[in-house]
Amino acid sequence: MMKTRIKLAPSTARSRMSRSRVSHPCRDSRGAFTLIELLVVIAIIAVLISLLLPAVQQAREAARRSQCKNNLKQYGLALHNYHETYGCFAPSGLNNAHPNTQLPCVGWQVRILPFIDQAALYGQLNFGNPASSTWEAGASPATGDVTHQILSDGQAARTHQIPIARCPTDTSPEMFRGWAQASYGGSIGSQRTDSSSTPCQPYNVFAELGSSSTDAQVNAIVFGRSSNSALVSGMFSYYGVVLTTDDVTDGTSNTIFVGETLANCSWNPAGSDVSTNHHRRGWWHGNSNGAAQCSTVTPINDFTTCDNSTRIVNAACTDPVNYNYSWGFKSMHVGGAQFLMVDGGVRFVSENIDQTTYQRLGGRADGKTLAEF
């Protein structure tokens, strides 16, 4: 039987070959992106980034705020462990003497070092026989203080930082002129804080104690210059007050213990060490922004005296020696600041809190009813 060979027309064969080439996966070809398509893709990516960036920033701030809260909780545990050991809370100063001259010149944060896993650092401080220690140039056991002692690493005590002393959101310098700075300060409560300029103390009207310059014992009342608990509204005083939980008659959950502060709102970078700039000593010294230089009379987050502040209430009062402004609690958290209460709890308090309510949180024994906050 003979096979019949079918001959395709040339046009039909070419058509089939053409279709074969188009459908072959290895020979598929596409045109490049046009400029318009590329711009559209870039625009879409930019929009997605703009939508995601705030969420990322919020997540980071939430983590920083959580760490800050944990720092305050650590302070609370340490203060209560100190109380359990010594029968009282750590004082910020001693004996109605100016903290610049009353040796050992340390603040309450130094005293609780053994209770925040810093026993090794605390153990190097020579409180008993300072004459046997090595001191910084210009300092001595007679004229200096423990913060100027040279430790085993060859550095002065005041230069040593501890992790919980800083809030991650705090953008102020961690070190200033050789002093480790703090993000937290002890509360003197609703206490009068006079400014160097008389017109720059509008908040004294809120003070529980010393609201008028005619008050008896006014020198002791201003800044809490007393170790007499009856003259001190809060948990610490500028000259030192020794308190126990029994002294907190308003309730430990309703009384501020420690709160956030910003170092660069309390010292003058151009000031001297012994006058306008004495608050720059961080958490080491008894006369520093980390000791007992925070009052509730100033509204939360008043940034009038802060470096490069864009939120100035009174442009005539930006000097940090206007303490009625600079001694307020403040933070870089949006909308308020975090506070350690005497019971060990940590609360975020809005900067819009009613000022009367805020004073009652500052006072530990005012006997007044506290509103919701």
What are 117-147's pLDDT values in tens digits?
Answer: 999 999 999 887 777 788 888 777 766 688 9
Calculate what percentage of the chain has a pLDDT beyond 90. 52
Q: What's the pLDDT score for residue 278?
A: 56
> Is 89's pLDDT higher than 50?
yes
| φ and ψ at residue 176, rounded to 5 degrees | -140, 115
Q: What's the pLDDT score for residue 209?
A: 82
What are 140-185's pLDDT values in tens digits?
Answer: 776 668 898 999 999 999 999 999 999 999 988 899 888 999 999 9
Q: What's the pLDDT score for residue 135?
A: 85
Sign of CA dihedral 303, 309, 310, 313: positive
Q: What's the pLDDT score for residue 35?
A: 80
What are 178-232's pLDDT values in tens digits?
Answer: 899 999 999 999 999 999 899 999 999 999 987 765 655 677 788 888 888 988 9
Closest CA to 211 of 355, 7, 51, 45: 355
Confidence band, pLDDT 50/70/90 cuts, at residue 274 = very low
Q: How far apart are CA 189 and CA 199, in angstroms?
A: 22
Q: What's the pLDDT score for residue 117?
A: 94
Q: What's the pLDDT score for residue 221?
A: 85
- Burial of 247-278, coded b for 16+ CB within 10 Å and e otherwise, reads bbebebebbbbbbbbbbbbbbbeebeeeebbb
> Is 29's pLDDT higher than 80?
no
And the tokens for 231? 């003259």
And the tokens for 13? 């064969």
Confidence band, pLDDT 50/70/90 cuts, at residue 7 = low
What are 292-343's pLDDT values in tens digits?
Answer: 889 999 999 999 999 888 899 999 999 888 999 999 999 999 999 999 999 9
And the tokens for 356? 């009367």
Q: How far apart are CA 35 and CA 256, in angstroms?
A: 62
The DSSP code for 258 is E
> Is 252's pLDDT higher than 50?
yes
Q: How far apart are CA 280 and CA 262, in angstroms?
A: 11
For 88, 187, 188, 273, 302, the CA distances from 326, given in Å and listed in that order, are 29, 13, 14, 17, 8
Closest CA to 346 of 337, 357, 354: 337
> Is 2's pLDDT higher than 90?
no
Confidence band, pLDDT 50/70/90 cuts, at residue 98 = confident
Instruction: Look at 102-106, 138-142, 231-235 and tell me which has the smallest mean pLDDT.
Output: 138-142
And the tokens for 163? 């992790």
Asked whether 64 and 167 are in contact (CB, 8 A), the reply is: yes
Sign of CA dihedral 142, 238, 96, 283: negative
The DSSP code for 180 is E
Task: Work out the end-to-end distance of the chain between its first and last CA atoms, rounded to an integer number of angstroms.
Answer: 106
Q: How far apart are CA 184 and CA 346, in angstroms?
A: 13
> Is 19's pLDDT higher than 50?
no
Q: How far apart are CA 235 and CA 89, in angstroms?
A: 9
> Is 258's pLDDT higher than 90?
yes
Calculate what percentage of the chain has a pLDDT beyond 70. 84
Give bridge partners of residue 175 from the DSSP assignment: 180
Q: What's the pLDDT score for residue 71?
A: 97
Q: How far apart are CA 140 and CA 175, in angstroms?
A: 23
Asked whether 254 and 373 are in contact (CB, 8 A), the reply is: no
